[in-house]
Structure 1
């Protein structure tokens, strides 16, 4: 660690020296019109933006401590995280998660996980410091960005600063006391009239953290990442861009999963093209193509089960996709987006088991077994869409969209028992989704939005093809079902937001809220099948397996609300609420992974050179649970976070923070339970206790 600090210090001193030399050189202030790519979905344009959206950004100020991926979502109202350790973290929005959320980078790039236990979700393949902002479309209210069931999450990466030509960059470092964690990042960008280059490299080293009871939680990991983005302006109206990045995870401990990650290597390549100002009717053409590959190895070498059985699993996932979209205006008030997109996901790999003990007795000669994990399966989604926005008047925008998806799936190397259970053949599904919405800007200070969306999601590869693997929150073996119907989300929502001026030392009052209701068709859950017994360790409990099935009746409803008062010019007080209620009417219980009522109270000030805030988080008890999913009731808890940041000079940002300052011992309702861990029972994993952190960034 001392070596890393020395290297970073040298890099910082060198960068400062270089930055001083640059400031002494006269910069080229010539500005060219840059044809920006459609990597940002929400731009502040009333006539183009989707309805009912959230934008979160400026993490350098709002999150000053070193960040793992969870920190990008924890402060967004309505968003929670599903945690299996300190690395395998999935976002959840309004009790929608996994493939129910359309998660992507830069307006369409995807990288699907290779591990059936989601040790490597899409959010692990990019470093948080590279994210400029997060955009969320709250439901299936657009058809332009792929099949969408519960909403779109767009992670927008840093782009060049086109206002300043020449060589620039930044270096940053952060430290966390709880887990002795170190985060480093270096970024360079070179901007010229015709082309631009952005390159970055990052290193993260997190140790095991301690919870509020001073119990060490196995959660350490290391990762190294680098990326390069190259853009070329063919003309003022034409741009081509390539983005290549790789991530290398090492020695990752998963407290709530049966195995640990030895390595997780991912590669992502994305190509983007845009042609603007085509003609009177055809306005712009955009194209995207991407490729990602994930190579994942997991073992149980350091787990209690190793004494009875050695397990090594090597799996891989390939994702290939693209999109072509034409923006055209057949009439002055009508703005239309038409196009097609494609995504192909292929997975393969297996698990090798060396069984040393069988039925409680040591074997004189250990036996080797090979299990097919993904059975060489694939899913291909070909979609076509049209979305039209009609400007009724200067204050009202009406949107309607329709989408068709042709989904093909197949399993090319099935296990004998899986093939005996189902009639396996290539399957094609035809999904139709759509949306209609209206945005009414009542005044400059008040906006009203209403939307209906029908989102359709075909079953993912786990739900179709997993064969007797433990992939849930409970100890059941799960069995896929290749005949599942597609899930349908019929979602209605109304929302409004406003900003009112105040007097007597109070600057303004901001508010925002939305209410929604979703009626589900063919919702997919795992249901115990008493006719099928477990395949591995047949003497263990539970005896029977869960098979993925469609249920007939389910729904959810909820709201998010925010209110903020700005006072004394630079100070603010904000409160946020998020609540969702979900019901599985077939089983008479909640849908799984439904977060409890969340309340956040923030007090802070924001000046140009320094800022601070105190955030009090109140999470209610969750007793509306899914017992069939293995959930238990979760007690409520409160945490307090304190952050302070300062810019002593223009190019330097310093930050310190105390997270969970009260050293609360707690677990989130969405946390998975300890699995195959020495000295831990099957209870939900606990969160970090008090954590001091520091952050330093230098820009030049």
Structure 2
């Protein structure tokens, strides 16, 4: 890591010096207020955007309701969410989840969770209202943003309006009836030609919600956040940005996990630098460095198991990383991106158990045990990449990229039983990934895309080093395997999108569709080992454990489709479809967490100062399940959501919504089951019933 930051510093110094020399000799009369940093992946330009990329709606512009984490993904075609309550929510895309998705902020910043049960996924460490849009690359079709297996999710936070100097700000407040939930946000910014500063603070208080059956689901939480962004323009073509944010979660209830969160504190610092317009061959150099730290405490103080055993787990995770990338053009029709990136994840912590009942007998003197959760482990990924875009002709772009990752991992404080299972030593893995794709503009209105990507993911820390902990959807204890091979996703995709102008009151017709197929190598799943018995509460069922292993044969296929008709100038009708099918040939069942076929119909009205839509959601039954993972078949369901927004005054935005209008009782297939909860059996967590919401924002 010291070597990497030394290289980063030297690069910045030399780039700055070179830039200053260029500025003295270069004559440019064009006024440029700021350099565009690499915070976004999807630029809206055909020749620059990665193949099979997409961008979600502009959340900042069309606000209609308070944002929970799930709301950021629920309305994006192909996405589902994995839910353990109202806080610990992970996105799933095309049946890929967790580290199979490369999730980041602003083009590369990461914050990895500390809890082995993912009470604190990456999406909890940012204010949802601060996210202006979500960018997606739908497979391993680029090598520029870190090792990627199933796709990239880039959460883009709001940036200052560089065209409007001076002081600006906004305040907002929102309310949801189901849970009496409140959200608040205040932001202040100052911008001039040389520098800009943005500061925000937010507070969220979500209560337990009621599902469509009238049952109260334990899911309340409180969180407070603040952030500061500083930007400085050294010259017209170079810029430095520093971003600092902290988030504090308190009293978080997790309906589908064995414990609750007492506190979850995270700190994220990132530094971005870019110099543009350097020369004829070297066009730009950009650099990023970031550091995140998560401090997490979970207990079972309010759970049924507390009467037999008190448990508290204090865990922490540190993520350090960075990237240097050079954009250069050795020839007129060739655009190259070459660079180095690194990410280091370290985790540690322990669980303290005060056992009051043992083998059915109440202990006069309770016994204390300490269990190593992460066993002081780390994983470091050092990657080298080059990606080229070649203009075959004015309408066709060929993209090809190759990436090498050097991954080292080690466990520095193993439990005795884990050390007895494996020959533990520092391990180094060498992985290669790559992609090739073609994007062709068939006419001014149609684009054809075809791609192949080889995405590689080395095992995460849970899969490598967890030791007799419940980390799955089922009640099994899981044991890691430090000798796992890296997962490989060989993904093929072809798609077409376009727009056609219409007449007679119909303005235009838009469509987009793609079909994909993936075959996996070394897919990682937990497999029951009948030779090993559970370590904690050994008389409980199941008595055996699961050990993470590689599968030989597994695949995935599916499609997404969207059509939209725009008519009578301000109206639109949109339909969206997404389907994914997975198969684990080794166990003759589906891969875990495969979402069902989903359809959405939306009728909307949109003007500059007034907008509204009604969205009808149809989710099919899912009986293609992974029984070995503890899944059960899920019934289909249908829900209706109504949203309305407008600007009654110049700087005021008002939003109203009614979600699940018919108060439908249902659960999503990807929801985990109630665990260690009084009055709840081990059944999937149900979703909120009818929910009225209001949101008000004032900008100045």
The corresponding residue for 2:103 is 103
Gaps of 5+ in 1: 1-29
Between 32-41 and 227-236, the greater mean CA deviation after superposition: 32-41
Tell me the residue number matched to 2:238: 238
Distance in 2, matches of 1:656 and 1:573, equals 20
Rounded to whole Å, the distance in 1 between the matches of 2:208 and 2:62 is 25
| Separation in 2, partners of 1:395, 1:64 | 39
SS of the residue 1:305 aligns to: helix
Structure-2 change in CA distance of 1:697 and 1:223 (3 Å): same
1:335-346 to 2 correspondences below 5 Å: 335-346=335-346
User: Residue in 1 aligned with 2:71?
Assistant: 71
Corresponding residue of 2:316: 316
Q: Do the aligned residues in 1 keep the contact of 2:63 with 2:695 (CA within 8 Å)? A: no
Matches of 1:62 and 1:424 in 2, distance apart? 53
Contact kept, 8 Å, 1:63 with 1:71, in 2: the verdict is: no
Structure 2 counterpart of 1:597 = 597
Structure 2 CA distance, aligned partners of 1:181 and 1:60?
A: 20
Q: Confirm or deny: 8 A CA contact 2:170 2:188 kept in the other structure.
A: yes
Check whether the contact 2:140–2:454 (CA below 8 A) recurs between aligned residues. yes
Question: Which residue pairs with 1:263 in the alignment?
Answer: 263
Cα deviation for residue 61 of structure 1 reads 5.3
Residue 690 (structure 2) aligns with: 690
Work out the CA distance in 2 between the residues paired with 1:60 and 1:98. Answer: 26
* Aligned counterpart, 2:163: 163
Q: TM-score, normalization: structure 2?
A: 0.95
Match of 2:491 in 1: 491
The aligned residue for residue 283 of structure 1 is: 283
Which secondary structure does the structure 2 equivalent of 1:117 belong to? coil
TM-score w.r.t. the length of structure 1 is 0.95
Q: How far apart in 1 are the matches of 2:503 and 2:57? A: 29
Distance in 2 (CA, whole Å) between partners of 1:33 and 1:355 is 64
- Secondary structure (helix, strand or coil) at the match of 1:547 reads strand
Inter-partner Cα distance in structure 1 for 2:60 and 2:132: 10
Query: Post-superposition shift, 1:31?
Result: 6.7
Deviation of the 1:609 alpha carbon: 1.1
Pair 1:618-2:643 in alignment? no
What secondary structure does 2:73 align onto?
helix
Q: Does residue 609 of the first structure (1) align with residue 596 of the second (2)?
A: no
Q: How does 1:155-554 map to 2 (within 5 A)?
A: 155-554=155-554
Q: Confirm or deny: 8 A CA contact 1:469 1:477 kept in the other structure.
A: yes
Taking the aligned partners of 1:565 and 1:60, their CA distance within structure 2 comes to 24
CA shift for structure 1 position 443: 1.1
The whole-number CA distance in structure 1 between the counterparts of 2:332 and 2:234 is 29
Conserved? CA contact 2:60–2:132, under 8 Å: no
Give, in angstroms, the shift of residue 62 of structure 1: 4.7
Distance 1:89 1:78, change over 3 A: same
- Could you list the runs of 5+ residues in structure 2 that have no partner in the other structure? 1-29
> In structure 1, what is the equivalent of residue 6 of structure 2?
none
Question: 1:32 Cα shift?
Answer: 4.0
- Alpha-carbon displacement from aligned partner over 1:47-94 (angstroms, at most 9, x marks no partner): 221000110032245551111111000000001100000000000000
* Matches of 2:413 and 2:63, distance apart in 1: 47
Asked if 2 retains the 8 angstrom alpha-carbon contact of 1:294 and 1:316, the reply is: yes
Distance in 1 of aligned mates of 2:124 and 2:693: 22
Equivalent residue number for residue 640 of structure 1: 640
**1:131-165 CA-partner distances (Å, limit 9, x unpaired):** 11100000000000000000000001111100100
- Cα distance in 2 for partners of 1:645, 1:285 equals 42
Shift of 1:650: 2.0
- Check whether the contact 1:61–1:645 (CA below 8 A) recurs between aligned residues: no
Q: CA deviation at 1:44?
A: 1.6
Q: Residue in 1 aligned with 2:7?
A: none
1:34 CA displacement: 1.3
In structure 2, what is the equivalent of residue 119 of structure 1?
Answer: 119
Question: Could you tell me which residue of structure 1 aligns to residue 3 of structure 2?
Answer: none
Q: Per-residue deviation at 1:46?
A: 2.1
> How far has the Cα of 1:328 moved from its partner?
0.3
Distance 1:63 1:632, change over 3 A: farther
Q: List structure 1 runs of 4+ shifted beyond 6 angstroms.
A: none
Once the two structures are TM-superposed, the CA of residue 395 in structure 1 deviates from its matched residue by 0.8
Distance 1:151 1:433 in 2: 13
Deviations 1:679-698 (A, max 9, x none): 00000000000000000000
Structure 1 residue 625, shift from structure 2 partner = 0.1
Distance 2:684 2:690 in 1: 19
Partner of 2:4: none
In structure 2, C-alpha distance between the alignment counterparts of 1:484 and 1:64, rounded to whole Å: 46
2:645, 2:321 → 1: CA distance?
41
Deviates more, 1:649-658 or 1:416-425: 649-658
In structure 2, what is the Cα distance between the partners aligned to 1:288 and 1:644? Answer: 39
> How many aligned positions are there?
671
- Corresponding residue SS for 1:560: strand
